[in-house]
Copies of this chain bind each other. A is one copy, B any other.
Amino acid sequence: MEKQIDNHYRYLQQHFSYLIRQQALLPGEKLPSERDIGERFNLTRMTVRQGLQTLEAEGLIYRQNRRGWFVSPPAVVYNPARRQSFIEYVSSQGFEPSTDLIGVTVNPADARMAELMKVDKGARLLFLQRRRSIDGRPVLIEHIYINTALLPGIEKEDMSQSLTHLLRNKYGQAYHSMNLIFKSTALLEDAARELGAAAGLPGLHIERTNYDAAGRVLELDYEYWRHDAVTIQIDVNDA
């Protein structure tokens, strides 16, 4: 019995996977409703849901709350060595970037943040939460910590704009060196909810530390991406 369920489920998965790879279903296109799929394949709603969630974990489709399932658009390519802002690399690939500001607060650094930012405990850190979207689809939650002592008055700026541009234009600060860490993980509840995704869906976690010319930490950036929205590309050239 379990074998048979497994086969049905796999047939569903292979069916849609084939249609998407053959471009019979195009990026952004809506799949039939779960009910319709269930009737057509003679599967229970729960088996249909599991099959669709597997396709989502593979990065082929995604669910918009209450609107149904859609074919995933192509992932944007993020090449950190190019030092482009989100807005720059998304728009240069023909997509439309947008940013929602979720929260802005100024907090004293606790012991852990003081160590990470190389500041004294209690130093004023600007904390930003933002959601970024590509062609209207939320793809990424950002948690950003900024050293206000190095960027005086920054908390009065419009925090939905590109920080890269703000630092460059108002403060004459370009990012100098960056340290990046990439981890594949599951989206935790908060990030998943902000992205309209299911908790536990694979996600990409990026931690980026930006330094100024003197090696001081300007900014710490934690990004939680939908896994199907981004591909990291790195070229290592001859030394």
Contacts and interface: CB of A to CB of B under 8 A. Distances in A.
Interface size, A (range):
35 or more
B225 A184 contact: yes
Contacts of A183: 59, 75, 204, 227, 231-232
Interface in A165-197: 176-186, 188
A30 interface: no
A180 B233 CA distance: 6
A227 B53 CA distance: 18
B227 A177 contact: no
A46 interface: no
B184 A184 contact: yes
A238 B177 contact: yes
B184 A203 contact: yes
27 contacts: A54-B199, A54-B200, A57-B185, A58-B186, A58-B188, A59-B185, A59-B186, A75-B183, A80-B234, A177-B237, A177-B238, A178-B235, A178-B236, A179-B233, A179-B235, A180-B234, A181-B231, A182-B232, A182-B233, A182-B234, A183-B232, A184-B184, A184-B202, A202-B202, A202-B227, A213-B238, A234-B234
